[in-house]
């Protein structure tokens, strides 16, 4: 089992989640974070920290977001670990909740 970052993180990337992870399993891309499923210990701490409600337990990922399970595993291998909170981009709040953000995912 692992936790998974889903679509609403894209272009929001608030990074509150990285502050609570005890095993540093978040990896950072240009406008999205992912969780390394091989490192996540299922502690649940990150889920309530995300202002965009983008983090789900693997077995609770919404049906229209299941592609993000594989995307987290794939991109965690490519992107560097992030362990410290960063200021979000200026328009992060404007993107929170917008549908169809997958098309803006930068790899």
Tell me the CA distances in angstroms from 18 to 25, 83, 98, 103, one per residue in order.
Answer: 8, 5, 23, 24
Positions touching ligand F3S (CB under 6 A) are: 5, 9, 12-17, 33, 49-50, 52, 54-55
Q: Is 33 in the site for ligand SF4 (CB under 6 A)?
A: no
Contact 68, 5 (CB under 8 A): yes
Nearer to ligand SF4, 43 or 91 (CB): 43
Q: Is 81 in the site for ligand SF4 (CB under 6 A)?
A: no
Q: How far is residue 52's CA from residue 7's CA, in Å, rounded to a whole number?
A: 10
Binding site for ligand SF4 (CB under 6 A): 3, 20-21, 23, 25, 35, 40-46
């Amino acid at each position: 089992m692992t936790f998974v970052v889903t679509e609403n993180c894209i272009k929001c990337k608030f990074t509150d989640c990285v502050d609570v992870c005890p095993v540093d399993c978040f990896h950072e891309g240009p406008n999205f974070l992912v969780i390394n499923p091989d490192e996540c210990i299922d502690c649940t701490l990150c889920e309530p920290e995300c202002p965009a409600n983008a983090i789900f337990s693997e077995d609770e990922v919404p049906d229209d977001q299941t592609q993000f399970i594989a995307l987290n595993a794939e991109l965690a291998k490519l992107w560097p670990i992030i362990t410290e909170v960063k200021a979000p981009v200026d328009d992060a709040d404007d993107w929170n909740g917008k549908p169809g953000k997958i098309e803006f995912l930068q790899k």
